[in-house]
Amino acid sequence: MLLAAGSVAGQQVFAESMAKSNKGRIGIQLYSVKDELPKDFDGTLKKLSAMGYSSIEPYGFAEDDFFGHTMKELSKKVKDMGMSVSGSHIWTGIKPKDPDTKEWDFWKKCAARMKSGGAEWAILSSIPKPNTSDDLKRIADYFNHAGKICKEGGAKFGFHNHYDEFNKINGEIALDYLIKNTEPKLVSFQLDLGHVINGGGDIMHYVSDFPGRIKLWHASDFDRTKREYTEAGKGDVPYTALFELAKSSGLERLIVEQETKGDIFTSCKIDFDFLKQFRWTKVS
């Protein structure tokens, strides 16, 4: 009985200490630790919390199941660790050419799922590669419709870029077209900073020229010389210049995504320690 009481007390101390320390604005995409979650789900989350991350962003929440947890259950679990769920990446067999009612029902369910755990964002994490202007128009129309459904369901719709979106179609960069041709009140963008560099995009252009449209950043980094992803601050993402524009750009969420090999927890700690130097993150 004494051992049990001690264990409960220890858990309470851990939860209280985490709740006190995780007051900043640096979250993490759990795809970063995708290889660790199946080994020790709770232990992995606790390690991220102990580093100081204040929120998590799971992935693949196409159904209400993330490693055996519903969104509501996951939200409760991480809340006890001093973190919240900001939203989720969502993979779907997007059919912008000829979407049917099942596609829109899917987004209704996604919005409800986010809301059930107090999460804000339903983030579409990939699209079929567009090859023509008609492809881009259909994708933009799809984003607007999905965004309308999410808004009606109490969630926010966003799109996360990779590096293919910096290819030009009829003289215009695909991502630029999507930003310009989607409704600001319905569609936001999660700019993956490392992917922008990898794709050859002008990263300052997006933060400077589209205020209010890019409300989320994925804090990643890419080394052009080595042609590989690396920890934040070790590549070619101009973080200092970007954070000078964070407020005016309308940034709301900063979420680390780490895609390096090796000791992933060390890399995630390097990311956090680098990003906490910037005033916007509000890490004390």
- pLDDT tens-digit profile of 205-217? 999 999 999 999 9
How much is the pTM? 0.91
Radius of gyration of the chain (CA): 19
Taking the C-alpha atoms of residue 28 and residue 232, their distance in angstroms, rounded to an integer, is: 12
- pLDDT tens-digit profile of 195-204? 999 999 999 9
Domain map of the chain by residue range?
2-281
**Whether residue 99 has pLDDT greater than 80:** no
- pLDDT tens-digit profile of 47-75? 999 999 999 999 988 899 999 999 999 99
Taking the C-alpha atoms of residue 21 and residue 23, their distance in angstroms, rounded to an integer, is: 6
Across the range 93-119, mean pLDDT stands at 88
Q: What is the pLDDT of residue 20?
A: 59
- Top CATH class of 2-281 equals alpha beta
Rounded percentage of the chain residues whose pLDDT exceeds 70: 92
